[in-house]
Chains A and B, each alone.
Chain A
Amino acid sequence: MSFMTKPKVHHPNLPKNKLGLTTRDYEGGMSTLCAGCGHDSITAGLIEAVWALDIEPHKVAKMSGIGCSSKTPAYFLREAHGINAVHGRMPSIATGAQAANPELHFIGVSGDGDSLNIGFGQFAHAIRRDVNMLYIIENNGVYGLTKGQFSASADVGSKAKYGQVNENPPIDPVLTAITLGCGFVARGFSGDKDQLIPLIQAGLKHNGFALIDVISPCVAFNDHEGSTKSYAHTREYFHPAIHTDFIPPREEIKVEYEKGKAMPIELHDGSTIVLRKIDVDHEPTNRAAAIGYLERHREAQEIVTGLLYVNEDHGGGVGDVMPPKSLTGGAAIRDPKKILETFQSTSR
């Protein structure tokens, strides 16, 4: 991925967070993606969300696989360590990294090819292990870097840039995640920043695996008539099921609480997600209902967005014996000589 340093000139009146930092301090290198790429909007959303949560940039580990989406971690949080793994295998890197140091915030950015084709196994197992991370799929239905092949999220009948028609049914990351037991599942649209930023904030604060599938049109290879991942198609079939607000801890919670329409959910650190139901049929805390709801709207070819499923009692971490603290300091064993002798005493 190309890397160009951005000029770091601050507007004197840019708002500062509690750390005294502006959003410019959360930026990365200059994007080399195509002009208009949805991924850049997601990057902008990430910058704003992490800034607003007052997270020190270097306390984040950002990770990705291979592909256009996987370039994006270079474009935010220049003071955070990043790792660009091999194709589809970012989840295993994230799992190991988090096992070693659960004290950091983990942001994984992947693509539909990366997560749903080559990396589908690792994606599923990271959910199953409930790795404590925000996992964003920048979903455009095509392989951009190899110039326009269908990915596993392409809809049946959708057309590629040069007219080929996709014959295989799509894998829906949202439904997949819910059925695998993921405790935080959302869908956004790169063109709807207002909806996306609270989702990212809430996902970062969720204690466990938080998936956000973001429809992010590819302007080079999948923004034409016949594509179901184009800007035009997404805007036409966009169906917000729920609106999400994120409220950090210690701020007064002001919710226009109308019975049956709004739902505050307190997270482990005291922050709150407020879900405002736009579609009264949606039950985002009921797994079976959420699956049924999504299936109904999928059949109607609608792209349902918002925080689609959340399990507020969800734990987090890799398995049940997750070390509480970082293991990176080099753990010395007490009295190795005695341990060795005890072992050998049973070996004679």
Chain B
Amino acid sequence: MPQVNDFTLKIATVNGTGSASANGLLMKSIFRMGVPVMGKNYFPSNIQGLPTWYEIRVTDPGHLTRAGQVHFMVAMNAETFAKDQAEIAPGGYLFYDSTWPRTREITRDDITVIGVPLAEMINHHFVEPRTRILMKNVAYVGALAALLDLDLDIIEQLLKETFGEKKAKLVEPNMEAVHIGYDYAKKHYDCPLPLHVKKADMTKGHVIVDGNTTAALGAMLAGANVAAWYPITPSTSVMDAFTSFCAKHRHDDQGQPQYKIIQAEDELAACGMVLGAGWMGARAFTATSGPGISLMNEFISFGYYTEIPAVIFDIQRVGPSTGMPTRTQQSDINECAYAGHGDTRHICLYPADPREAFDFAIRSFDLAEHFQTPVFVVSDLDIGMNEWMVPELKWNESYRPDRGKVLSAGDLDKLEGRFGRYQDPDRDGIPWRTLPGVHPKGAYFTRGSGHSEHGTYTEDAAEYQRVLDRLRRKFDTARKFVPAPYIDYARSKPVKAGIISLGSCDLAVKEARHNLKGKGTEFDYCRIRAFPFTDDIRQFIDEHETVFVIEQNRDAQLKAMLQAELDADARKLVPILHYNGLPIASMHIEAAIEDHFREAEAS
């Protein structure tokens, strides 16, 4: 059974009741007690009324990912009560609002049931209907504080920070609600429970952040100053955060805004605006999700062929089509890598957590301008919208934006002969570009139709092919510039099996490796961080007899790309696929790997 500082707490509530802030308060209070903690929000694509869950894993081993088990269920939603109860691991706890007797609904005798009449107490204490709903949540935070031994001073401090000076008067009623729950639990139950939180010192040097906010901050610090977007879950908070950061920090000495954010009429227009700004020489980006990328395909193809820098943050959600907008997946891997018609391929970066979302946001702008092409930051809902505990973000003081090969007015003054936009004087596939308005000698016509190395229209077979071959060469050059994979070899001895994964699978893979090692089997690990794939990924595959490719989609998109791009031996690659909309958990990976070896042995 779970131990102190090592258990999963899940709260089942109703969307729109204000439970998100109560749950955030719980998570952060555990973090401030110095204990590593993970929080995942499973919410419906709905404003109000449907079931929603929040999962908090308290984990002093530091496995900040889903374990796949629930030890303490706070069942606040009558509609899902039976399902929530069934999810509790044997020996676990069921916490419910006993205002409504559920004696007949409580069917398990292998769990401990804790009833607290939250609604009754809160309705007795507060008058206003909305306050009663909100405070019921705050009251369960209080009850849990008693049961799990959370620090009330920390909770009070967090409430003060949340409401700030402007809403300071809200702190008192919130603390009253906390105490209502706390006092009841103290009086009626043996507090704390055997499963509880004990202060530690393991969270120093860490922050709790979500990936959409860190991506937006990275974009602003990298110098992004034009953004265009169309609202779509789960990417909207990227632009919300960017807007807020720019409003605070991006002004000139006279207080004039030095940025422009445009809410476009659709994703086609958003992508066009980004390309227009990139063509003009600004650092521009958009943020969207899979359905938005679908609409942008025409312009992405245009951006690739005309060689205009652009950054596209794709916060992946569940597809196909509208799919499940508030659930997570990694099913745009192929869509981003090859977006567009004709022979197109794009630089993609795959952050694994909010810290890497920050780093890759900065890097994406440098890559986009260096290679004069659209670059994708392929994140997902889990990274983007959930709060993660990560090591503090670092700023590299020596950072200077890489603006790529841009000819200045001075360069153009000295230029002899005609400027050739799509030539390759440096033999790296990357041409020189000029910006509009800078110098008459820099003028050329940007066109998505067949063009020569001077940018003029052509249908000449050799001229067209020369440009297309150079684009391929440019993509090959990018191999040397994109983030290298994270490769971790098992320390004891060479092992026969490896794991390849990407993005938000990372922590689940790491925990699975840890647990499998505890059972006697070690695996090497390669986390891909970018496309184009680098040679060390090919080498990693060559070194192993079996390579498990772990990803969150149905069709093994990463595996297919490894086969196509690296000519990897398909017989070696064993897909482990997770695609139900919830983040992958370590136990899924462990079970799949064990099943594979069991079946291999049996055959």
| Residue in A2, A101, A104, A336 whose CB lies within 8 Å of B221 | A336
The reply to whether A95 and B262 contact each other, CB–CB distance below 8 Å, is: yes
* Residue from B276, B403, B437, B442 whose CB has the most chain A CB atoms within 10 Å: B276
Please tell me which one of the listed residues A2, A322, A346 contacts residue B457 in the complex, with CB atoms under 8 A apart. Answer: A2
Interface string of A205-227 (1 = CB under 8 A from B): 00000000000000000000000
Beta-carbon contacts of B235-263 to A below 8 Å, as 1s and 0s? 00000000001000110100011111010
Pick from B249, B273, B392: contact of A92, CB under 8 Å = B273
Q: Does B485 contact A (CB under 8 A)?
A: no
Stretch at the interface among B44-52, B138-146, B222-230, B511-519: B222-230
Contacts of A329 in B (CB 8 A): 281
Find out whether the CB atom of A61 lies under 8 angstroms from the CB atom of B280.
yes
Inter-chain contacts of B393 with A (CB < 8 A): 340, 344
Question: Could you give, for residues 371-392 of chain B, a 1 whenever the CB lies within 8 Å of some chain A CB and a 0 otherwise?
Answer: 0000000000000000000001
Q: Is A9 an interface residue (CB 8 A)?
A: no
Contacts of A74 in B (CB 8 A): 445, 457
User: Is B217's beta carbon under 8 Å from chain A?
Assistant: yes
Q: B residues within 8 A CB of A325?
A: 252, 256
Within 8 Å CB of B306, what residues of A? Answer: 83
Asked if B446 is an interface residue, CB under 8 A from chain A, the answer is: yes
CA separation between A338 and B435, bound complex, in Å?
32
**In the assembled complex, how far is the CB of residue A120 from the closest CB belonging to chain B, in whole angstroms?**
11
**Closest residue on chain B to residue A128 by CB atoms:** B265
Q: For A95, what are the chain B residues with a Cβ–Cβ distance below 8 Å?
A: 228, 262, 269, 272-273, 276
Asked if B397 is an interface residue, CB under 8 A from chain A, the answer is: yes
Q: Mark B158-188, 1 if CB is under 8 A from A, else 0.
A: 0001000000000000000000000000000
Smallest CB-CB separation from B438: which chain A residue? A58
Given contacts A331-B250, A333-B221, contact A100 B403 (CB under 8 A): no
Q: A323 to B256, Cβ gap below 8 A?
A: yes
B276→A100 contact, CB < 8 A:
yes
Give the distance in Å from the alpha carbon of A340 to the alpha carbon of B214 in the complex. 10
Among A3, A94, A346, chain B packs the most CB atoms within 10 A around the CB of A3
* A343 proximal to B (CB < 8 A): yes
> Which residues of A lie under 8 Å from residue B471 when comparing CB positions?
none
Q: Are A333 and B249 in contact (CB under 8 A)?
A: yes
- Taking a contact as CB atoms under 8 Å apart, the answer to whether B268 and A61 are in contact is no
Q: A92-B264, A97-B280 are in contact. Are A86 and B299 (CB under 8 A)?
A: yes
A250 interface contact, C-beta 8 A: no
User: A2-B457, A81-B446, A330-B223 given as contacts; is B281 within 8 A of A89 (CB)?
Assistant: no
Chain B residues with CB under 8 A of A337: 395, 397
Q: Is the CB of B262 within 8 A of A318?
A: yes
Given contacts A92-B269, A330-B403, A336-B395, contact A347 B207 (CB under 8 A): yes
State the Cβ distance, A16 to closest chain B Cβ, in Å. 17
Interface size on A, residues (CB 8 A): 62
Instruction: Say whether B444 faces chain A, with CB atoms less than 8 Å apart.
Output: yes
Query: Is B411 positioned at the interface, with any CB of A under 8 Å from its CB?
Result: no
Q: How far is the CA of A95 from the CA of B9 in the complex (A)?
A: 49
Contact of B282 among A58, A94, A101 (CB under 8 A): A101
Query: Does B449 sit within 8 A of A, measured CB to CB?
Result: yes
Question: Does A161 make an interface contact (CB < 8 A)?
Answer: no
Q: Is the CB of B443 within 8 A of A80?
A: yes
Which of A97, A121, A129 interacts with B436 by CB under 8 Å? A97
Contact (Cβ within 8 A) B446 A83: yes
> Could you tell me the distance between the alpha carbons of A322 and B158 in the complex, rounded to whole angstroms?
38
B569 contacts partner chain A, Cβ-Cβ < 8 Å: no
Q: How far is the CA of A56 from the CA of B457 in the complex (A)?
A: 25
Residues of A within 8 A of B442 (CB): 58, 81
Inter-chain contacts of A52 with B (CB < 8 A) = none
When C-beta atoms are compared, the residue in chain A nearest to B443 turns out to be A79
Type the 1/0 row for A61-76, where 1 means its CB is closer than 8 Å to any CB of B. 1000000000001100
Task: Please tell me if the beta carbons of A125 and B223 are within 8 angstroms of each other in the complex.
Answer: no
Contact of A103 among B225, B256, B272, B437 (CB under 8 A): B437
- The interface residues of chain B, by DSSP majority, are classed as mixed
The minimal Cβ–Cβ distance linking A121 to chain B, given in whole angstroms, is 6
Kindly supply a per-residue 1/0 record for chain B positions 172-213, scoring 1 wherever the CB is within 8 Å of any chain A CB and 0 otherwise: 000000000000000000000000000000000011110000
State the CA gap A74–B445 with chains docked (Å). Answer: 7
In A298-342, the 8 Å CB interface with B consists of 318-319, 321-334, 336-337, 339-340
A96 touches B274 (CB 8 A): yes
B436 surroundings in chain A (CB, below 8 A):
58, 61, 80-81, 97, 101, 104
- A61-B436, A84-B447, A336-B395 known; A99+B257 contact, CB < 8 A: no
Chain A CB within 10 Å, residue with most, of B161, B226, B269, B448: B269
| Chain A residue with Cβ nearest B393 | A340
A-B pairs with CB below 8 Å: how many? 216
Contact status B277-A333, CB under 8 Å: no
- In whole Å, how far is A80's beta carbon from the nearest beta carbon of chain B? 6
Does B283 make an interface contact (CB < 8 A)?
yes
Once the chains bind, are A321 and B249 in contact (CB under 8 Å)?
no
Is residue A82 within 8 Å, beta carbon to beta carbon, of the partner chain? yes
B440 at the interface (CB under 8 A from A): yes
Partner of A93, one of B221, B276, B439: B276
Residue pair A327, B258 in contact (C-beta under 8 Å): yes
Q: How far is the CB of B363 from chain A (nearest CB, A)?
A: 15
- Please measure, in the bound complex, the distance between the C-alpha atom of A89 and the C-alpha atom of B397, giving whole angstroms: 40
Is residue A188 within 8 Å, beta carbon to beta carbon, of the partner chain? no
Q: Which residues of B contact A59 (CB under 8 A)?
A: 437
Residues of chain A lying within 8 A (CB to CB) of residue B401: 330
CB distance from A334 to the nearest CB of B (A): 8
Q: Which residues of the other chain, B, contact A86 by a CB distance below 8 angstroms?
A: 272, 298-299, 302, 448
How far, in whole Å, are A263 and B206 apart by their CA atoms in the complex? Answer: 69
Q: In the complex the two chains form, is A348's CB within 8 Å of B207's CB?
A: yes
Q: Which residue of A lies closest to B223 (CB)?
A: A330
Expressed in whole angstroms, the Cα–Cα distance for A136 and B401 within the complex equals 38
Please tell me if B80 contacts chain A, counting CB pairs below 8 Å.
no
What does the 1/0 interface line of A226-242 toward B look like (CB < 8 Å)? Answer: 00000000000000000
B32 an interface residue at 8 Å Cβ cutoff? Answer: yes
A residues near B122, Cβ cutoff 8 Å: none
Contact among A83, A101, A122 for B445, CB-based, below 8 A: A83
CB of A255 within 8 Å of the partner chain: no
Do the beta carbons of A101 and B437 come within 8 Å of each other? yes
B266 within 8 A of A: yes
In the complex, whether A287 has a CB less than 8 A from a CB of chain B is: no
B294-310 contacts to A (CB < 8 Å):
298-299, 302, 306
Residue B220 CB within 8 A of the other chain: yes
Contacts A58-B437, A333-B249, A347-B208 given; indicate if A89 touches B268 (C-beta within 8 A): yes
**How many angstroms between the C-alpha atoms of A92 and B444 in the bound complex?**
20
Contact A96–B447 (Cβ < 8 Å): no
Using Cβ atoms and an 8 Å threshold, which residues of chain B touch A326?
437
Among B278, B281, B444, B445, max chain A CB count under 10 A is at: B445
What's the minimum C-beta distance from B167 to chain A, rounded to whole angstroms?
16
Given known A-B contacts A85-B302, A92-B268, A101-B280, A323 and B446 have beta carbons under 8 A apart: no
Least CB separation from A334: chain B residue: B249
Check if B437 sits within 8 Å of A327, measured CB to CB.
no
Nearest neighbor of B208 in chain A, beta-carbon distance: A347
What residue of chain B has the Cβ atom nearest to residue A58's Cβ?
Answer: B440
A111 within 8 A of B: no
Please, could you name 11 A-B residue pairs with CB atoms under 8 Å apart, sorted by A? Answer: A1-B449, A58-B438, A61-B436, A61-B437, A81-B443, A100-B281, A122-B268, A319-B260, A327-B277, A339-B217, A346-B161
> Beyond A89-B269, A340-B393: 11 further Cβ-contacts under 8 Å?
A81-B444, A82-B446, A93-B279, A95-B273, A96-B279, A97-B436, A104-B436, A122-B268, A333-B249, A337-B397, A339-B221
Residues of A at the B interface (CB closer than 8 Å) are: 1-3, 56-59, 61, 73-74, 78-86, 89, 91-101, 103-104, 121-122, 125, 129, 318-319, 321-334, 336-337, 339-340, 343-344, 346-348
